[in-house]
């Protein structure tokens, strides 16, 4: 179990790879694009440098962590010796099902298959594999190297042995695992996304502006980040995907995404990742606006 393959080198994938590698695991980071792999490694390096600057790790720790990571553009090659695979691809049902079908064929028969999905049914994902008892959810929080929580989600067929193994492994990463059951949105997003969606509805209905809504929630509710700023940080496209999964799963109108959110995603205003969402993150205005708004 000292070999861990991570599928996807994006924000969550590189954070998960970083976390495992820093704790001494050999990590095979897999993505279809070498450019994405290079970008992911650059992010990990930057985050390690930030930790050095804060005197949390040494230069030797950084080199050891980076040395624990190897990259692959082929799932078959990357998972050959993996005891655990953590899938962290885009929050898209069809894509995840395809990846897990491929993993089922490529992985050794004793490999545990985990998904970092934030809302999609673990049972549905497990059903396309040859080992539904060995499929589990590991929902890390962003930024992964810093956030302590990991939601551990059991599918309908997930075995007790696999659940216990992943719970204990999460603790070795310095995380706090919380076991939850397999329902749309699990716990974190079942509570968080309706709040974000209601904040967008509040803006959509003209009750208050972006900064005002976030200020009320930060100062009045002691939230470290306002819900609209948080939505930008998560990615408005991700928020929309999660809400759609919950709406489809529960058939309850309270999970229906706000039209403003839908339109912003269609317009390509996805938050931090696109340079603009509810706030402007473009390089020319970033320092001025973010400093002014968030201190």
Cite the active site residues: 118, 139, 151, 189
Written as one string, the DSSP assignment of 69-93 is EEEES-HHHHTTT-SEEEE---S-H
How far apart are the C-alpha atoms of 72 and 112, rounded to whole Å? 19
The candidate with the shortest Cα–Cα distance to 184, out of 193, 175, 176, is 193
177 within 8 A of 170, measured Cβ to Cβ: yes
CA distances from 108 to 102, 105, 256, 286 (A): 12, 8, 40, 47
**Beta-strand runs (E) in the chain:** 3-7, 26-30, 69-72, 84-87, 112-115, 135-140, 149-154, 176-181
- The distance of Cα 241 from the centroid of its chain, to the nearest Å, equals 13
Q: Nearest 5°: CA angle at 125, between 137 and 82?
A: 60
In the chain the first and final C-alpha atoms are separated, in Å, by: 43
What's the full length of the chain, in residues?
A: 295
The candidate with the shortest Cα–Cα distance to 27, out of 136, 173, 159, is 173
Classify 175 as helix, strand or coil: coil
DSSP state of 2: -
Residue 6 CB contacts under 8 Å (≥ 6 apart), including other chains: 13, 16, 17, 20, 27, 28, 29, 30, 85, 86, 88
Q: Which two tokens stand for residue 46?
A: 């930057």
């Amino acid at each position: 179990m000292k070999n861990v393959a991570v599928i996807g080198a994006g924000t969550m994938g590189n954070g998960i790879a970083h976390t495992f590698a820093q704790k001494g695991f050999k990590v095979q980071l897999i993505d279809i694009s070498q450019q994405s792999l290079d970008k992911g490694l650059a992010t990990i390096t930057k985050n390690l440098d930030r930790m050095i600057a804060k005197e949390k790790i040494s230069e030797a720790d950084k080199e050891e962590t980076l040395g624990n990571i190897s990259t692959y553009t082929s799932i078959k090659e990357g998972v050959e010796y993996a005891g655990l695979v953590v899938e962290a691809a885009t929050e898209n049902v069809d894509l995840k099902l395809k990846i897990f079908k491929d993993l089922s064929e490529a992985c050794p028969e004793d490999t545990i298959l985990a998904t970092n999905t934030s809302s999609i049914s673990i049972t549905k994902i497990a059903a396309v594999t040859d080992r539904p008892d060995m499929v589990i959810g590991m929902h890390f929080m962003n930024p992964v190297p810093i956030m302590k929580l990991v939601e551990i989600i059991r599918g309908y067929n997930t075995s007790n042995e696999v659940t216990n193994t992943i719970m204990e492994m999460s603790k070795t990463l310095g995380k706090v695992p919380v076991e939850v059951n397999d329902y749309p949105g699990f716990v974190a997003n079942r509570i968080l996304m309706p709040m974000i969606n209601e904040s967008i509805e509040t803006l959509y209905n003209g009750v208050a502006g972006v900064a005002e809504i976030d200020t009320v929630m930060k100062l009045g509710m002691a939230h470290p980040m306002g819900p609209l700023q948080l939505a930008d940080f998560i990615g408005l496209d991700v928020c929309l995907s999660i809400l759609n999964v919950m709406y489809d799963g529960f058939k309850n109108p309270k999970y229906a995404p706000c039209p403003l959110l839908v339109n912003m995603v269609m317009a390509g205003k996805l938050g931090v990742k696109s340079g603009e969402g509810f706030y402007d993150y473009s390089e020319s205005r970033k320092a001025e606006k973010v400093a002014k708004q968030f201190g």
